[in-house]
Amino acid sequence: MSDDDFIDLRSDTVTTPSEEMREAAATAEVGDDVYRDDPTVNELERRAADAVGTEAALYVPSGTMANQIAVHVHTEPGQELLLERESHIYRWELAGAAKLSGVQTRTIDAGDRCVPTPDAVREGLVDEDLHRPGTGLLSLENTHNYRGGIAVPVDRIAAAAEAARDADVPVHLDGARVFNAAVALGVDASEIVAPADSVTFCLSKGLGAPVGSILAGDEAFIEDARRVRKLFGGGMRQAGMIAAPGLHALGNVDRLAEDHASAERLAAGLDALDGVDAPAPDTNIVVAHTEDAGIPAESLYVACKDAGVGCVEFDDYATRFTTHLDVDEADVDEAVERIADVVDDLRD
């Protein structure tokens, strides 16, 4: 199989930069961003802050770094970080909160739709006393990656955040795909972000930039975050070269609806296969459950790869397929056909 023929649905991070992005990188006006001399980075930070309705923003190499900087700025070593038990920060960031910021994590079970209730938040909050460290931060996630790109409604996020703020605990939103949530919910991203003190979003996922994420919040928070970015090794020099495609990526928000439509089409195609359960997604992430077909995710993943479809093992019997800028409807239909053959071969 030629590389061209491979339909890569592993993640929306696999997109390659468009001609416009390459051109923008080549011609970007640059300077030393550690001295804050890079006009392209400065413009990106301004436009990114506008896009989520915050005072300020900081350009960082990755979503993971944005989240870890937020944890570091909001907390003191020895405090607790309260977050959902399937959240990215808890599951997939190498225990960074413990290693980089010395905080202990406490998890909330927010159910399959990942809607943390105010009561669950209140139960999870810990007051500082002789025996207990106190909660330093509540972190929420929207869209929720592991739950299959769920777009958590604005009022639910706001209610959970309010429970924390009532206890003087700040709130971070891991909005790696916050624009997918905004498009799916039909609201402006700033509405989703408003209840939080800080937000992470990725330029390098559905928005299609080759690299980079944003951490946004008020000016005082971003000033602290800039120091922590340096501490974590994320201070960059002529970063306008990579920030310029990020500016183009901000123009890709509205078209995320196309990825959601392809994902719905993909889920419907997979769900129609015998023994496969693929619920209709809110956004661009489809999770296919293959327990009834007796197909472990590991086998499905390997066979799909051989058949020319990239996916990600999520759990024993759950496999993730993600749509993005570089796949169209025809690719999705072709992927469903290939996966159908694979499932037929593997079924008990």
Ligand X SMILES: *Cc1c(COP(=O)(O)O)cnc(C)c1O
Closer residue to ligand X, CB minimum distance, 86 or 303: 86
Closer residue to ligand X, CB minimum distance, 202 or 228: 202
Q: Which stretch binds ligand X (CB under 6 A): 63-71, 73-81, 227-235, 241-249?
A: 63-71
Residue 92 falls in which region: left (phi positive, over 0), alpha (psi -120 to 50) or beta: alpha
Torsion, Cα 309 314 316 318, to 10 degrees, reads -70
Contacting residue, 17, 63, 170, 195, with ligand X by CB under 6 A: 63
Closer residue to ligand X, CB minimum distance, 51 or 293: 51
Q: Which stretch binds ligand X (CB under 6 A): 17-25, 43-51, 56-64, 155-163?
A: 56-64
Q: Which stretch binds ligand X (CB under 6 A): 15-23, 57-65, 104-112, 332-340?
A: 57-65
List the 80-84 sheet strands across, edge first: 56-60, 213-217, 198-202, 171-174, 135-141, 80-84, 104-108
Residue whose beta carbon is closest to ligand X: 63
Is residue 52 within a helix (H) or strand (E), and if so which, with residue range? helix 39-52
Least gap, CB of 4 to ligand X (angstroms): 25
User: For ligand X, how many residues bind (rule: CB under 6 A)?
Assistant: 12
Amino acid identity of residue 316, one-letter, is D
Q: At what angle do helices 329-346 and 297-307 cross, to 10 degrees?
A: 120
Q: Is the Cβ–Cβ distance between 247 and 43 less than 8 Å? A: yes
Least gap, CB of 108 to ligand X (angstroms): 16
Closer residue to ligand X, CB minimum distance, 246 or 269: 246
DSSP assignment of 237-283: SSTHHHHHHHHHHGGGSTTHHHHHHHHHHHHHHHHTSTT-B-PPPSS
Phi and psi at residue 313, in whole multiples of 5°?
Answer: -70, 130
Q: Is the Cβ–Cβ distance between 105 and 81 less than 8 Å? A: yes
d(CA 44, CA 242): 10
Contacting residue, 15, 18, 40, 64, with ligand X by CB under 6 A: 64
d(CA 106, CA 113): 19
Question: Does residue 240 interact with ligand X by CB under 6 A?
Answer: no
Least gap, CB of 135 to ligand X (angstroms): 20
Give the 3-state secondary structure of residue 151.
coil
Question: Does residue 12 interact with ligand X by CB under 6 A?
Answer: no
Contacting residue, 88, 156, 172, 320, with ligand X by CB under 6 A: 88
Question: Does residue 147 interact with ligand X by CB under 6 A?
Answer: no
Contacting residue, 213, 284, 319, 322, with ligand X by CB under 6 A: 213
Write each residue from 170 to 209 as x if it is in contact with ligand X (CB under 6 A), else as -, in one continuous string: ----x-x-------------------------x-x-----
Residues at the site binding ligand X, with contacts judged by CB under 6 A: 62-64, 67, 88, 141, 145, 174, 176, 202, 204, 213
